[in-house]
Structure 1
Amino acid sequence: MASDDGMGQSLRRIRHARGKSLAVVAGLAGISTSYLSRLESGERALDRRSLIIALARALEVAPSEITRSGVGLSGDLDEDRSLGDVRLSMLQASIGEPGGEVVSSSVLKIRANSVLDAQRRCDYSMVGSELPGLIRDLHTSLAAGRDDEALLKLAVLTHVQGTQAWLSAIGAAPDLAWQASLLARRAAERLDDPLFGAVSAFGTSFGLLSAGGFEPARRLLSAAEPGTATNEAMQVSGMLALTHALVAAAKVDAGSRRAALDQAADLAAHTGDANAMWFGFGPSNVGIWRMSVALEAGDHHEAAAIAETVDPRALAATRQAAYYREYGRALARLPKRQTEAVLMLRRAEKISPARIHRHPFMRAVLTELLARAKKEAVGRELRGMAYRSGLSL
């Protein structure tokens, strides 16, 4: 397996290539020179969107230049083998030449539900194997004008909760996930249904977030109006509120962040734990999002405190992986909690290896834990996760 030294080394290489000093880049990014030095050495994890965007702007590069892994999709995981076919099926759909078969909406719905259920179970190998054929047949059937409204709804859900979520989970290039969100957006625009428009807005906002488009993401989320007339609408509105809170944290807007989280919590109290539009919205999921928002705001103590109020047993596998991942990420920065952090990250890895090995934030956290451990003794579990993630030991 190839190895790399994580985002810190990428950051240093880009800075040197730009001919900029630590002091200049730190000043432009709004951080101290010593903090930038620790980010480059891996002693501090580069795991906040706002900081990545600030550094990318200081260095005049795209954020993906910093977050890009040196390992890439090398075929280590079963799902990697499907990536090329998924990419091709999306390209064919985007140019109106899907190359599939005309299939009834009822059959396609069964197939789509199977894929989305596998996504929730973190069965990414199954999702990857089924997505290409589903995408081709779905778009071929749409082109034939069969069950138009039903198929458009399936297209929105398949591309946001299936294609885009899968691509993000396995660490594929952000532009591929963005293409999936655009296919969903096209379908949503044809539908003119507030609920499905909101699902599309959720997917598009994540694409904007990764590119540093915080304000466009905020406007898009604010414009979506699924309402609260039904339990389903409340769940979708709650997911938009949670996404809005994450955007606000990235924008360092504490007031909007708190208001959005309060709104989501209030809606979750009414809906309970549910799964409209495959979001898995409810009190338990709100807890995980509160952890993620606190981490984006740089408050690791708050994220760890929130984790202690969440029961991961009430969650689907994909959300359990997120819980343990974010809990580990929070504990990694707290004094004398590194051993617990490794335990939590290992639990996440057992559920979903890709979400640890491929996620740039998690690779940054592992690098920070390694940098600290080298001063003492590197634990077996930490060393194993770092190796499986392709990091230098």
Structure 2
Amino acid sequence: MYDEVTIGVRLRALRRWRGMSLRTLADLADLSQGFLSKVENGKQPLDRRSHIAAVAQALQVSETDLMGGPHLTRDPVQSEPHRTIPAVRTALMTNTFTAPATDRARPLAELVAEMVRIGRSEYGHDEVAVKLPPIIDELHVHVCAPADEAAHRLALRTLIEAFQSATFLSKDLGYTDLAAVAAMRAHDSARILDDPVSVGKAATLRIHTLPTGARDLRLTAAESAAEAMEPHVRDDLDVQVLGMITLVASLIATLSYRYDRAEHWLAQAGDLATRTADDPGANWGAFSATNVGVWRVALATERGATGRPLLDLAAGVDEAKLRPRRGRHATFLADVGRGLAREPRTHREAVRWLRRAESTAPHKIRNSTAVRETVGVMLQQAREAAVGRELRGMAARMGVPH
């Protein structure tokens, strides 16, 4: 049953399709043959993005081919968000800066206020998904026929925020190509505005959605964006945008195994965080000292951390400050759980962290390929009834045969 859904099974099928031995794949991906054997046999998860990118590149397939596309179950919490994707896709693909998809729009100030509420996570995930397509449509009306130059620029700046929401909505649900389209639309908006903050915001989205295999391109883009933004930092928003660029740069450096560069940019982010309020709920991109701590955990998990070192990092995060950002909070909890799941002795604790993540943002966690892979592998390994019951519950909600 488990073999039907694991990345390991897809890995074995793709490797055999390429006529490649496990040793050859291991050499090409610069990973150990023993590790890949455990992945293929469901004994170890393939959940580090750098490993996924390396294996996909070695096999000459997309990461979606390896990981699987959006996974739908009968669980409405998991599957319902996918119903909103066609409307988001239509809004992204049918509007242009010279021809909006609709001819009517609410006042610009009302649309701006809606995007502020979305940016601060005042709406639930389902509400955002429903509100976003018409906002994108109507903002294009204001871009095409603005009241004046100030209104034109405000509409474009607000569109960047809308495209950011569309990017991460699509990415969270597994529609990576659509996320890239939204990021490129933000990039197009920023090019017209040609101001450092807009360009910096759009750069973070573009870097997030570039193919993981393009490691050198992504790292160059991230570091160039940070260096371009740095001379223009004047106020809180500037600090927050630059801060998010430095965090993205630290992530890309980590995925590229450039741990020295990753630590450099993470330290830069820490310094910038002292220059703005520690308020993830209000700050752009949630940039704050608390969010830097969250990224430290995420990057440590990506590098293979587990056990006490990971828990010590997690203990430094003030979860109370994360609560307004439920998706960010859930990702933090899941990162800790995934790290702890790598060692059998911390499986029970891993399940507790993963269950907390699921309770915090069910739609996000039940649609997470990385969490699904971790739950599947842990379920394969589970021997004690208490652990098995918890995992079987999560497995049922995530569509993992159990």
Do they superpose with TM above 0.5? yes
| 2:124 is equivalent to residue 158 of structure 1 | no
Once the two structures are TM-superposed, the CA of residue 88 in structure 1 deviates from its matched residue by 1.0
Once the two structures are TM-superposed, the CA of residue 140 in structure 1 deviates from its matched residue by 2.3
Once the two structures are TM-superposed, the CA of residue 292 in structure 1 deviates from its matched residue by 0.9
Once the two structures are TM-superposed, the CA of residue 107 in structure 1 deviates from its matched residue by 1.6
The alpha-carbon distance between structure 1 residues 115 and 122, as it changes in their structure 2 partners (threshold 3 A), is closer
Question: What is aligned with 2:390?
Answer: 381
Query: Deviations 1:79-131 (Å, cap 9, x if unpaired)?
Result: 222111111111112585432224432121022223333xx367211011111
| 2:236 is equivalent to residue 231 of structure 1 | yes
Q: Please tell me the residue identity of whatever aligns with 1:296.
A: E
Name the CA distance, whole Å, in 2 between partners of 1:86 and 1:74.
22
Q: Please tell me the residue identity of whatever aligns with 1:181.
A: A
The count of corresponding residues between Structure 1 and Structure 2 is 386
Name the CA distance, whole Å, in 2 between partners of 1:3 and 1:372.
13
Question: What is aligned with 2:317?
Answer: 310
Query: Deviations 1:301-333 (Å, cap 9, x if unpaired)?
Result: 443321021121111222211221111112111
The alpha-carbon distance between structure 1 residues 73 and 164, as it changes in their structure 2 partners (threshold 3 A), is farther
| 2:109 is equivalent to residue 106 of structure 1 | yes
Question: What is aligned with 2:303?
Answer: 297
Q: Please tell me the residue identity of whatever aligns with 2:293.
A: G
| 2:264 is equivalent to residue 271 of structure 1 | no
The alpha-carbon distance between structure 1 residues 182 and 326, as it changes in their structure 2 partners (threshold 3 A), is same
Aligned pair partner of 1:81 in 68, 80, 83: 83
8 Å CA contact retained: 2:69, 2:174: no
| 3-state SS, counterpart of residue 91 of structure 2 | helix
Larger displacement relative to structure 2 (257-266 or 143-152): 143-152
| 2:152 is equivalent to residue 148 of structure 1 | yes
Q: Please tell me the residue identity of whatever aligns with 2:134.
A: G
Question: What is aligned with 2:220?
Answer: 219
| 2:260 is equivalent to residue 255 of structure 1 | yes
Q: Please tell me the residue identity of whatever aligns with 1:272.
A: A
Name the CA distance, whole Å, in 1 between partners of 2:101 and 2:395.
41
| 3-state SS, counterpart of residue 257 of structure 2 | coil
Once the two structures are TM-superposed, the CA of residue 349 in structure 1 deviates from its matched residue by 0.7
Query: Deviations 1:167-204 (Å, cap 9, x if unpaired)?
Result: 222x1310011111011111000001101111101011
Question: What is aligned with 1:369?
Answer: 378
Question: What is aligned with 1:240?
Answer: 245
Name the CA distance, whole Å, in 2 between partners of 1:193 and 1:143.
20
8 Å CA contact retained: 1:108, 1:134: yes
Once the two structures are TM-superposed, the CA of residue 380 in structure 1 deviates from its matched residue by 2.0
The alpha-carbon distance between structure 1 residues 21 and 27, as it changes in their structure 2 partners (threshold 3 A), is same
Question: What is aligned with 1:207?
Answer: 209
Q: Please tell me the residue identity of whatever aligns with 2:257.
A: V
Q: Structure 1 length as normaliser, TM-score?
A: 0.92
Query: Deviations 1:262-281 (Å, cap 9, x if unpaired)?
Result: 11111112213135663111
Structure 1: 5+ residue stretches without partners: none
Once the two structures are TM-superposed, the CA of residue 335 in structure 1 deviates from its matched residue by 4.5
The alpha-carbon distance between structure 1 residues 155 and 74, as it changes in their structure 2 partners (threshold 3 A), is farther
The alpha-carbon distance between structure 1 residues 274 and 308, as it changes in their structure 2 partners (threshold 3 A), is closer
Name the CA distance, whole Å, in 1 between partners of 2:123 and 2:142.
28
Aligned pair partner of 1:192 in 191, 194, 197: 194
The alpha-carbon distance between structure 1 residues 166 and 41, as it changes in their structure 2 partners (threshold 3 A), is same
Percent identical among aligned pairs is 31
Query: Deviations 1:32-84 (Å, cap 9, x if unpaired)?
Result: 22210111222211111111111112111112211224734878333222111
Once the two structures are TM-superposed, the CA of residue 26 in structure 1 deviates from its matched residue by 1.4
Name the CA distance, whole Å, in 2 between partners of 1:289 and 1:175.
24
Question: What is aligned with 1:60?
Answer: 60
Question: What is aligned with 1:40?
Answer: 40
Name the CA distance, whole Å, in 2 between partners of 1:109 and 1:271.
23
Structure 2: 5+ residue stretches without partners: none
The alpha-carbon distance between structure 1 residues 56 and 244, as it changes in their structure 2 partners (threshold 3 A), is same
8 Å CA contact retained: 1:102, 1:144: no
8 Å CA contact retained: 2:96, 2:140: no
